[in-house]
Amino acid sequence: MKMMNQKASNIEVRKMNKSLIFDYIYRNGQLSKQDIAYALNMSLPTVTQNLKELFSRGLILEDGQFESTGGRKAKAISYNSNACFAVGLDITRNHIGIVLINLGGQVIRNARIRRQFENSEDYFRRLGDLIHQFVEEAKIDGRKICGAGIAVPGILSDDNQTVVYSPVLGFTGGTCESFSRYIPYPCILYNDANAAGFAELWNSEDIHNVVYLSLSDSVGGSILIDNNLYFGENQRSGEFGHMIIVPEGKQCYCGQKGCVDAYCSARILSESSHGNISEFFSLLRAGSEPQTEIWKEYLYHLALTINNLRMLFDCNVILGGYVGSYIDEYIDVIRDMVAKRNTFEVDGSYLKPCSYKLESIAVGAALMHIKKFIDNI
């Protein structure tokens, strides 16, 4: 028994070493064997043996040579960004956003298709056909796809297999199995705002705690603490759209009055421009009076919301979603507005525009599978 335990322990140590080595290469780019051994405090033979296995699995590759410092030139080692891929889906009431990303999180291909959601076999079958065609046109070996992440606007069960609440889609009680029946890859459901927030942190080394505020057709968000999503005890964290900012105010679709969603959803803006958010901002830039007045009122309520989030979480706030995709040119104005409401700070530099734009939700859903792949190396 003691020998078996020791053998199991040795296997775990080897697996841990291999995972540490790959993760270090993944995060730091081109490295030599000596760099890795020194940084991870491992012996050169241990590093060499693990690199040999990673090479054999196609996870890393030689990427040139370093300049000589007197002896033989050291080989530069990098991770193979084409070792695996993942599909991400953003399912909305009227559209499907789809992306294909590689191991490094780079978007290889993306598309946005207008298709109204229906809880029907025909919809799910067509979705499966869409993914098959999308991957085929990208000329990617389907065997290299580690999974499909499916992001939906709703509250999910603990195991991310069931939609507990989704009035936006009318999919309450729907399951991951409905989607996966026609998708030939491992599938899992994600909350849309959690997926987008996760995407923002993926390559951000200087941000560890952040609140992501998603301003789309519904308002939501995510909370990330120490680079990990905080889901809450009932999977309902980040439902910022249902914080009340105007007591007995406008009616919200949830049945309450005065919710953030009733004042800060993208619909508030797009309803004045034939349902087109891009057209709204074009009219706003042109100085159109109706859009200017709507934007002024929108920012008033948005600033209230942002300041409340800053008071609650005391960390950076990222603005994303459909509105967040256009927010860069207005960020300084909004920072000034939130600074005037803040009791403790004189500027709003904690407020950031999102890095990923319209594809952020789908990218985040795909990245969840990339993370799982890396964690299991």
pLDDT for the residue numbered 82: 95
Q: Phi then psi for 17, rounded to 5 degrees?
A: -60, -45
Q: How far apart are CA 128 and CA 148, in angstroms?
A: 11
DSSP 330: G
Residue 3 confidence class, pLDDT cut points 50, 70, 90: very low
Pick the CATH number of 2-79 from 3.40.50.300, 3.30.360.10, 1.10.10.10, 3.10.129.10: 1.10.10.10
| 3-state SS, residue 86 | strand
Q: How far apart are CA 377 and CA 365, in angstroms?
A: 20
Provide mean pLDDT across the span 360-374.
94
Q: How far apart are CA 289 and CA 248, in angstroms?
A: 28
Cα 26 to its chain centre, rounded Å, is 18
Provide mean pLDDT across the span 215-229.
91
Pick the CATH number of 85-197+360-375 from 3.30.420.40, 3.40.50.720, 3.40.50.300, 3.20.20.100: 3.30.420.40
Q: Phi then psi for 153, rounded to 5 degrees?
A: -80, 95
Provide mean pLDDT across the span 249-264.
96
pLDDT above 70: residue 1 = no
Q: Phi then psi for 46, rounded to 5 degrees?
A: -65, -45
DSSP 329: G
Provide mean pLDDT across the span 128-138.
94
Q: What's the pTM?
A: 0.86
Residue 62 confidence class, pLDDT cut points 50, 70, 90: confident
Residues of the chain with CATH 1.10.10.10: 2-79
Residue 73 confidence class, pLDDT cut points 50, 70, 90: low
Provide mean pLDDT across the span 30-56.
93
Provide mean pLDDT across the span 69-86.
83
DSSP 305: H
pLDDT for the residue numbered 71: 54
pLDDT above 70: residue 87 = yes
pLDDT above 70: residue 17 = yes
Q: How far apart are CA 81 and CA 22, in angstroms?
A: 12
Contacts for 170 with CB less than 8 Å, ≥ 6 apart: 117, 119
Closest CA to 95 of 276, 272, 240, 219: 276
- Strand pairing class (163-165; 155-156): antiparallel
Closest CA to 268 of 290, 285, 247: 290
Closest CA to 97 of 342, 325, 287, 289: 325
Q: How far apart are CA 235 and CA 196, in angstroms?
A: 16
Question: What letter represents residue 298's amino acid?
Answer: Y
205-353, what's its fold?
Nucleotidyltransferase; domain 5 (3.30.420)
pLDDT for the residue numbered 201: 84
Residue 86, CB half-sphere, CA atoms under 13 Å: how many? 28
pLDDT above 70: residue 113 = yes
Question: What letter represents residue 202's amino acid?
Answer: W
Cα 273 to its chain centre, rounded Å, is 28
Mean pLDDT of the chain: 91
Q: How far apart are CA 34 and CA 238, in angstroms?
A: 44
Whether 151 contacts 96, CB under 8 Å:
no
List, for residues 287-334, the tens digit of each pLDDT value: 999 999 999 999 999 999 999 999 999 999 999 999 999 999 999 999
Angle between helices 331-341 and 289-313 (to 10 degrees): 50
C-alpha distance from residue 250 to each of 265, 269, 322 (Å): 13, 15, 22
Residues of the chain with CATH 3.30.420.40: 85-197+360-375, 205-353
Q: How far apart are CA 179 and CA 174, in angstroms?
A: 9
Q: Phi then psi for 102, rounded to 5 degrees?
A: -95, -175
Percentage with pLDDT > 90 across the chain = 73
Instruction: Note the maximum CA span of the chain.
Output: 80
pLDDT above 80: residue 8 = no
Residue 128 confidence class, pLDDT cut points 50, 70, 90: very high
E strands present in 226-285: 228-230
Secondary structure element (H or E) that encloses residue 225, with its range: strand 219-225
